[in-house]
Amino acid sequence: MNIVDRVLCGLHWFVGIGAIAGGLAAIINPVEPLGVTVEVLKNSPFSNFFIPGIILFTIIGLGNIASALMFRFKLKHQGYISIIFSWALLIWIIVQCIMLNLVNFLHIIFFIIGLLEAILSMIIIFEKRLFPVNLILKNKARKNS
């Protein structure tokens, strides 16, 4: 595994484990998970944290764990899986900030992690010359010859 794979795999494990813990806390105690009151949800369509907890647990948590496992099995399309769940994290953070009408330090940190995951995923897609990179490089080669 090269350095890009290792860093991306580590980020996926970090995000996945944290999201599973946070999502589980919200599912178990939807009224006040980890000390956060439902008062922060006043601008959102949710009355408690149950549904956001399920989304956090499954999509962000299990999705990032699945992305990390892709590196263990060295699957050809791991770049695609990684980029899907890195964008899921970015969208999750943006929607969360909008619904809570709040941006805090953790939002910024996890947004940066999501961006880093997306960039590293694109590097893997370019290194493996997967679609659409293969088409771009073919067209570039035709124009140069």
Q: What are the pLDDT digits (tens) for 101-118?
A: 999 999 999 999 999 999
Averaged pLDDT, 37-48: 92
Q: What angle do CA 21, 73, 124 make, to 5 degrees?
A: 85
**Helix locations, the chain, DSSP H:** 3-28, 50-55, 63-72, 78-100, 105-127, 133-144
Give this prediction's pTM: 0.88
pLDDT of residue 75: 81
pLDDT of residue 1: 67
Q: What angle do CA 70, 73, 75 make, to 5 degrees?
A: 65
Q: Where are the domains of the chain?
A: 3-144
Give helix then strand counts, H and E, for the chain.
6, 0
